[in-house]
Every structure is written in C-alpha cells, then in structure tokens.
Copies of this chain bind each other. A is one copy, B any other.
C-alpha cells in the first residue's frame, strides 16, 4: 500500500525495537489496502516466520498504544487493524460489509466532522471519532444477484 512508509524506521522512531515479528506484523497491515483482523494477520505472518498467536495480539496492542496502528471495531466482536492516521494517511471512515465481514477504507472527503464544533457541545473529553458505514459490498451484491 504505502511506498512512503519504512516500517523499521516507524518502529524505531516510536522507540520500540524493530524485531522481525513486529516488522512483519506492521508490514502485513501496511501492505494491505484494507484493515485486517488479528487472525488474518497471524495467518499471513506465520507463513514466513513461526510466530505465536499471543505475540501477534501483544504486538498489535503495543502498536496501537504507540499510535502506529488504529484499532477499528466492526459491528461484531472482532477488531480490525489498519495504519493509524499520520502525515501520509488522513483519518477516514470505513465500510464494513455485513455479509462477508470485509472492511474497507473510504475516502476522507465522503464524510466530514468538525471535532472542535462537536467538542463545544459536549462536556467530556473527545479522543477519537470512529465512523463506520455498514452495508453490502459490491462483491456480495453480485453474488446475491445471480
């Protein structure tokens, strides 16, 4: 997905060791143009690296805490992970296909929220705004049609 991102550098800049496991987890997510579940990531990484399931979860937690990754919630019980917004990646809403479970990135202009405006109407402290569009993706629409 992103030729501007050097994953090892990203990790080091965040102050964490760039271990093979971490680079591979981050690469898997960064090279994919839609968010993945922990299990998706695990299956991709273990093809080359002999990594433990738990390690994947721990790496994901770490990278979310370091604000390198973003944890997205589907309608269901599984979290999806994508690159966190940064200079190269603007914050954007996501599309979740309720039929096949695939999560997609939508383009940033399609929805616009004025956080400062919202903050004025609300006394709590706003940290993040998650926008998820649910529906049926084109693939699933096709399959239903036949």
Q: Which residues of A are at the interface with B, using a C-beta cutoff of 8 A? A: 71, 73-77, 79, 95, 97-98, 106-107, 109-111, 113, 117-118, 121-138, 141
User: Across the interface, do B123 and A134 meet the contact criterion of CB distance under 8 Å?
Assistant: no
Bound-state CA distance A100–B71 (Å) is 18
Please list the 3 inter-chain residue pairs (A to B) with the smallest Cβ-Cβ separation, ordered nearest first: A127-B135, A126-B135, A128-B134
Contacts A71-B75, A110-B121, A111-B118 known; A127 to B138 CB distance under 8 Å? no
Q: In the complex, how many angstroms separate the beta carbon of A10 from the nearest chain B beta carbon?
A: 23
Bound-state CA distance A97–B131 (Å) is 16
**A132: contacting residue among B130, B136, B138, CB under 8 A:** B130
Bound-state CA distance A130–B77 (Å) is 15
Bound-state CA distance A135–B132 (Å) is 17
Report chain B residues within 8 Å CB of A117.
110
**A130: contacting residue among B107, B122, B131, B141, CB under 8 A:** B131
Report chain B residues within 8 Å CB of A138.
123-124
Report chain B residues within 8 Å CB of A74.
73
Report chain B residues within 8 Å CB of A137.
124
Bound-state CA distance A138–B125 (Å) is 8
User: Across the interface, do A136 and B127 meet the contact criterion of CB distance under 8 Å?
Assistant: yes
- Contacts A73-B76, A128-B134 given; 20 further ones with Cβ under 8 A? A71-B75, A73-B75, A77-B77, A98-B127, A106-B122, A109-B121, A110-B117, A110-B118, A110-B121, A111-B118, A118-B133, A124-B136, A124-B141, A125-B136, A125-B141, A126-B133, A126-B134, A127-B136, A128-B133, A130-B130
